[in-house]
Structure 1
Amino acid sequence: MAQASIYEQILDPANRANPYPLYTELRKTPVTRQADGTYVVSTYDAIVTLLHDHRVSSDPRSHPELGGVTPEPEAGLPGLPLPFINRDPPEHDRLRELATRPFGPPRTPDRIEGMRPWLTETTDELIGNLAGRHRIDIVDDFAYPLPVAAICRLLGVPREDQPRFHHWADALVETADPTTGTFADRQRRRNEINAELGQYLGGLADAHARRPGDDLISGMLTDTGPHAPMARADLLSTCALLLVAGHETTVNLITNGMLTLLRHPDVLDRLRHEPDLITPLVEELLRYEPPVHLLPSRTALADIDVAGTTIPQGSPITLMLAAGNRDPDRFPDPDRFDPDRIDNVHLGYGSGIHYCFGAPLARVETQVALPALVRRLVHPRLVADPPPYRPNPTLRGPRHLLVDIDDVIPTTGTAAGRERVLRPAHR
């Protein structure tokens, strides 16, 4: 039996807790061709080059397994069109601009920053619910419900519907795992899940059309700017993307962040006493323990020369973002967690035209969440290190993060009138 390649070892769930030594080995050959014809790119400069190269397609229909055709859902339900992150210009640019108008600058500059007070109250409530307990799970008790509540509030999803999304989210995240079936099988399964989600979102969009509110769906429906409003099918596809991608990565960022702080008690103590440290600390977390480790399913639309290798036209490409984030040619002492690091232009949210759309929201959520946890949990300590990880190599994060605490410090705020946060079903 042939020895597993470095990339195959990275995909092996047995190495999920610490893939970084494997990334070091992978970077010795910046571009490697795998047995299935995929080109894996692992150094910072090569990744950035390809992220900014228009000859690299994010459209799954460009993948050689599909040959320009998107597999239909086996259930026969009408699927959603590809979201804008899976499209190439000019369609990508048009749809992203329409989604951005009600989401952030320049048209709606205060949308995300304006959520800070609500996020603070919701964070305080979730932590307050831990009072009287001496063992907590950062994932199930906090890092999952907070982003779910936030993205549902942003989109205008009724709070009683929030628990429904954990099923769709988990199923869609599984389709991002390159170890589960063929590329075509994963696309077909993704379409089936999106069809179910689309049916729900269609009803939600109808309700917002009748009574628009101050939310993202209403904003996209009522936009009167250039090229607006967004077509209904594209609006539903965008909402499906944001509901899932808008919280899954943040769950990992908050959980990885708390794990990293517990492993670095000196930095944890600094954060207690230096509130302004949180901004550079989150950026360093995005470099050091990013929520997304790799971008699979890119395709070369032409022969591309990068890092001394020619990637032939039609070849699948995988970009190893987390390996690039630890590249010593770009970051001095890259395996050290250093919130004082300067020139920290990391790949935690990618780069180029497909830079993570939800990055502003994820940053604000994490900037609110981590200081609150550090400030209010008394003597937090890990139960197991490493904790158990989810098997997915793309969206890498602990499945659970059990922490023992002595107590929870009460907040000076009041819970009166707060919107109740619903905990999800067991994940």
Structure 2
Amino acid sequence: MTHQSLLRQITDYTNRADPYPLYKELRKTPVLHEGDGGPYLVSSYWDILNLLHDPRISSDAANLAAAGADEMGGAETGLPPSFIRQDPPEHDRLRRIANRPFGPPHSPDKIESMRGELAEIVSELIDGLGETRQIDVVDQFAYPFPVTVICRLLGVPREDEPRFRAWVDPIVASLDPDTGREDAERRSAAQDARMQLGMYLAQLVEQRSKKPTGDMLSELVTSHGPDGPMTTMEVLSTAVLLLIAGHETTVNLITNGMLTLLRHPEYLERLRDDPRLSVNIVEELLRYEPPVQLVPQRTCIADIDVRGITIPKGSRIWLMLAAGNRDPERFRNPDRFDPDRGDIQHLGFGSGIHSCFGAPLARLEAQIALSELARRLGNPHLVEDPPPYRQNAVLRGPRHLRIGFDGLHP
């Protein structure tokens, strides 16, 4: 297996169901350069963690473009980059404003206060399964749950929620870094989806600016804290980010979680008896089967030495989170799913200034979802294993997860 073939194989769909042997091979060369203008791949836990905190690693879309890479979903809509595609100080300003209605220190109880509503949504979805004895976890549960949650947070009318899947799917597909695939059609579909989503949100922003309703979009429009207000374009960029990132990774987290529990029925049984175990299960899932496998959108803005190798200024760098999460230098028995391990300091939500903005909500959603599925589904089992996966190598998860069960417990 040649070094240059490793990245190609990791992004190749045929390896989507189990990329972990490839990550193991990749860790043999913790800093690997693809050559001929290709990116540097970093795959060891400690190196990734250090680089996530290194100010010489840029997330700015302009720096990525200057390095010769596609912006992967740039400004076809005319919107400015969201704050995850910017560096300090602008990143910090926008993130602080977005965080005011979402979490501490300004809204410290926001997520916890949603626990009852989240449980109610989950119960309604499971009750809605009716008398069926086989379901697709993705289509009938893992997708509609977080979509409903983020739409309610932002203030999207409930009747408009079904429209978002047609927009989100092509946008997410455009994030796939598989350069071996023909992408002209994919780009066109993503651009069209962004334009439709942007126009829809622009109408909502205009409505909220005239008549705030107390939702997150209203607060973004009317915020006048110490960082000043967001511009209308910044509100739109932030709303698009939250709508997509606010549910897409959670869909994969829940689906990967159910798949893993069905492959490890002893933990499914324990979770059924003790829902408190969901906290450790979700943390171990974020290590063992992270919904975000790698971070390809980074650029070095200065020479950086990693393990004696100089990564030159202007180089692209890919941080292989899923490889780091199974690094034996960091975790004992890394290929074993073990929610009882005492130390689960994973890279599943990243780290540093760009750590996942919605991590507290995603954790709570997954904990409630998995514990209720474990409690209420009678004798669940996989209909097919492995299931069909999404094309995307970055946001990895099953496209469908068909399971059978004996019936629903009350």
- Confirm or deny a common fold (TM above 0.5): yes
Correspondence 1:101 to 2:100: yes
- Report the AA paired with residue 149 of structure 1: T
- Report the AA paired with residue 230 of structure 1: M
What do residues 268-304 of structure 1 show as CA deviations (whole Å, max 9, x unaligned)? 1111111211111110110011100000021111111
Aligned counterparts, 1:89-128, within 5 A: 89-128=88-127
> 3-state SS of the aligned residue for 1:403?
strand
In the alignment, what sits opposite 1:406?
406
- Report the AA paired with residue 46 of structure 1: D
- CA–CA separation in structure 1 for the residues paired with 2:133 and 2:334: 35
What do residues 326-363 of structure 1 show as CA deviations (whole Å, max 9, x unaligned)? 00111111111111112211000000100010111111
In the alignment, what sits opposite 2:212?
212
What do residues 187-222 of structure 1 show as CA deviations (whole Å, max 9, x unaligned)? 887665433322111100111122212211111122
- CA–CA separation in structure 1 for the residues paired with 2:34 and 2:49: 21
- CA–CA separation in structure 2 for the residues paired with 1:226 and 1:180: 43
C-alpha displacement at 1:39, in angstroms? 0.4
In the alignment, what sits opposite 1:39?
40
In the alignment, what sits opposite 1:372?
372
Aligned counterparts, 1:239-250, within 5 A: 239-250=239-250
CA 1:193–1:55 in structure 2 vs 1: closer, same or farther (change >3 Å)?
farther
Please tell me whether the aligned partners of residues 384 and 402 of structure 1 are also in contact (alpha carbons under 8 angstroms): yes
In the alignment, what sits opposite 2:319?
319
- CA–CA separation in structure 2 for the residues paired with 1:79 and 1:254: 33
- CA–CA separation in structure 1 for the residues paired with 2:269 and 2:70: 53
Correspondence 1:202 to 2:202: yes
Please tell me whether the aligned partners of residues 3 and 34 of structure 2 are also in contact (alpha carbons under 8 angstroms): no
Please tell me whether the aligned partners of residues 65 and 71 of structure 2 are also in contact (alpha carbons under 8 angstroms): no
> 3-state SS of the aligned residue for 1:203?
helix
In the alignment, what sits opposite 1:415?
none
Please tell me whether the aligned partners of residues 61 and 69 of structure 1 are also in contact (alpha carbons under 8 angstroms): no
> 3-state SS of the aligned residue for 2:150?
helix
Please tell me whether the aligned partners of residues 252 and 398 of structure 2 are also in contact (alpha carbons under 8 angstroms): yes
Correspondence 1:157 to 2:156: yes
C-alpha displacement at 1:37, in angstroms? 2.1
Please tell me whether the aligned partners of residues 79 and 194 of structure 1 are also in contact (alpha carbons under 8 angstroms): no
> 3-state SS of the aligned residue for 1:5?
helix
Please tell me whether the aligned partners of residues 73 and 188 of structure 1 are also in contact (alpha carbons under 8 angstroms): no
**Identity among equivalent pairs (%):** 58
Please give the TM-score of this superposition, normalised by the length of structure 2: 0.94
CA 1:334–1:91 in structure 2 vs 1: closer, same or farther (change >3 Å)?
same
Please tell me whether the aligned partners of residues 79 and 192 of structure 1 are also in contact (alpha carbons under 8 angstroms): no
In the alignment, what sits opposite 2:8?
8
Correspondence 1:362 to 2:399: no
What do residues 369-426 of structure 1 show as CA deviations (whole Å, max 9, x unaligned)? 001000000010001111111121100000100001110113xxxxxxxxxxxxxxxx
- CA–CA separation in structure 2 for the residues paired with 1:71 and 1:394: 12
- CA–CA separation in structure 2 for the residues paired with 1:70 and 1:345: 30
C-alpha displacement at 1:9, in angstroms? 1.0
Please tell me whether the aligned partners of residues 208 and 217 of structure 2 are also in contact (alpha carbons under 8 angstroms): yes
In the alignment, what sits opposite 1:50?
51
Please give the TM-score of this superposition, normalised by the length of structure 1: 0.90
> 3-state SS of the aligned residue for 1:407?
coil
Unmatched 5+ stretches in structure 1? 411-427
- CA–CA separation in structure 2 for the residues paired with 1:204 and 1:112: 23
- CA–CA separation in structure 2 for the residues paired with 1:279 and 1:332: 20
CA 1:331–1:245 in structure 2 vs 1: closer, same or farther (change >3 Å)?
same
- CA–CA separation in structure 2 for the residues paired with 1:180 and 1:169: 21
> 3-state SS of the aligned residue for 2:318?
strand
Number of equivalences = 408
In the alignment, what sits opposite 1:423?
none
C-alpha displacement at 1:366, in angstroms? 0.6
- CA–CA separation in structure 1 for the residues paired with 2:227 and 2:70: 27
> 3-state SS of the aligned residue for 1:297?
strand
Please tell me whether the aligned partners of residues 65 and 183 of structure 1 are also in contact (alpha carbons under 8 angstroms): no
